[in-house]
Amino acid sequence: MEIFPKNKIVVGMVGLPGRGKTYIAKKIARYINWIGFKSEVFNTCQYRRDLYSEKSFTADFFHPHNTEAADIHQDCSNRATNDLISFLSEGGDVAIFDGINESVEKRRNFKKTLDENLSSYSLLWVESICNDENMINDSMQTLSSSCPDYKDFDSNSAIEDFKIRIENCRIQYQELSKQDDGNETPFIKLYDFGHQVLLNNVSGYLESKIMSLLMHIHNKQRPIYFSRHGESLYNVDNKVGGNPDLSQRGYKYAANLNIFLQDEMKERRINKKSKFFSSTLKRTIVTAGAVDIGIQAVPLKRLDEISTGLYDGLTYAEIEERYPNEAEERKKDKLRYRYPEGESYMDIIQRVEPIIFAIEKSKEPVIIVAHQAIIRCLYAYFCKFDIEDVPHLSVNLHTVIKLVPENYQVHEYKYNLERSQNHTPVYEKRLI
């Protein structure tokens, strides 16, 4: 008996413009890739921009009576569908069809095409419905500055045009229902970004994983801070595992981290409602304990460093000398290599999955003081690194990684607290 079904999964997005469909689609793909499966988003709007870049995509383009635009929409939908089918046929696991998919007829035609081209698959519809005017206005503000369709518009003109676009799309819009394709149609309806979630006939391993993710996400912007503990005595000796104290250099970093986070508090980037977590090991307890911002770090066992099992307390040189075959196996596949009586990076990804959900769910800033392997796994999720890269990501001692996720991008900053006295980032990048 197979643990996981061999079926391919197709996730079809449904929703009016400005409802966060692309944001949700990218979250799903990022998460599915992070847990070890292959996922890709096929965004019909991106096909439209790539193939018909000479066209103007103002609100009139989205009116149902615009026959030329209707042909373009259909062409882009067909191309995205064909690429989606090829992706699944060539080894992909979860394909996400990101478009408005506004009518029952369109959704049925899409399913018919899948039936004709895929021998075995499951279709899950995900609809984003937003009735909260504040959320809609926030979304339009973001889109007016980040949506490629409005790159030549000022903010006010973009917002006004986008409002008309929504109303033009609403003319033919039909919400998902059990009548779409019979009562068995699996779907998830998200109201106001998870304030209410309606499920219908959702089953299966990956479908349940997607459901769990969607019950935790929101679109409120807030910073996320990752820091390793200060240098430990084992770091000095190049030993693995253990529960050592900090070195003198490590204690100095703890003091610097306190100053950094106090400055972030003064700038109102964090507040006393922020979530603050550490591992249960001494080196993170001491590092986090030096931070005086009116919040106590909550120690979580899930944030403990990767277990090195029988190698606990050895140096890497000693491991190579005593267990050369094991050392060679680790070099071959660091992601899946499991320390004897210990853990692998894949084990860690499973262990910290609830931490990912907790971070996603929090609408307040999040601060985590943990360990290299743990932060590599968390960092890889938010910055969309390939799972094979996880064990090799750079997570240096005495450096704070600050991430600010937005609807279409993640702003990443790194602060080396030994090199930067005025807390200027030594690294800054915007990740799409």
Instruction: Tell me the β-bridge partners of 410.
Output: 405, 431
Is 184 considered catalytic here? no
Q: Has 147 been annotated as catalytic?
A: no
Give the DSSP letter string of 324-357. HHHHHHHHH-TTT---TTS--HHHHHHHHHHHHH
Q: Active-site residue among 73, 93, 98, 207?
A: 98
Rounded to 5 degrees, φ, ψ at 261 are -70, -30
Can 98 be counted among the known catalytic residues? Answer: yes
Task: Identify the active-site residue in 305, 343, 353, 360.
Answer: 305
For residue 272, report the phi and psi dihedrals to the nearest 5 degrees: -75, -5
- Buried b / exposed e across 99-135, counting CB within 10 Å, b at 16+? bbbbeeebbeebbebbeeebeebbbbbbbbbbeeeeb
On whether the CB atoms of residues 11 and 107 are closer than 8 A, the answer is no
DSSP symbols for 165-178: HHHHHHTT-----T
The number of beta carbons lying within 10 Å of the beta carbon of residue 412 is 19
Catalytic position from the list 130, 147, 169, 377: 130
The sign of the CA dihedral 43, 33, 228, 416 is negative
The residue written with tokens 């140096």 in the block is: 315
| Residue 130 is a catalytic residue | yes
286: closest CA among 260, 337, 250? 250
CA-wise closest residue to 315 among 229, 396, 234, 232: 234
Say if CB 367 and CB 225 are below 8 A apart. yes
The catalytic position among 76, 102, 180, 229 is 229
Give Cα separations from 203 to 120, 206, 353 (angstroms): 16, 8, 20
Is there a contact between 285 and 372 (Cβ–Cβ < 8 Å)?
no
**Angle (nearest 5°) at CA 200 between 196 and 206:** 95
Residues labelled catalytic? 98, 130, 229, 305
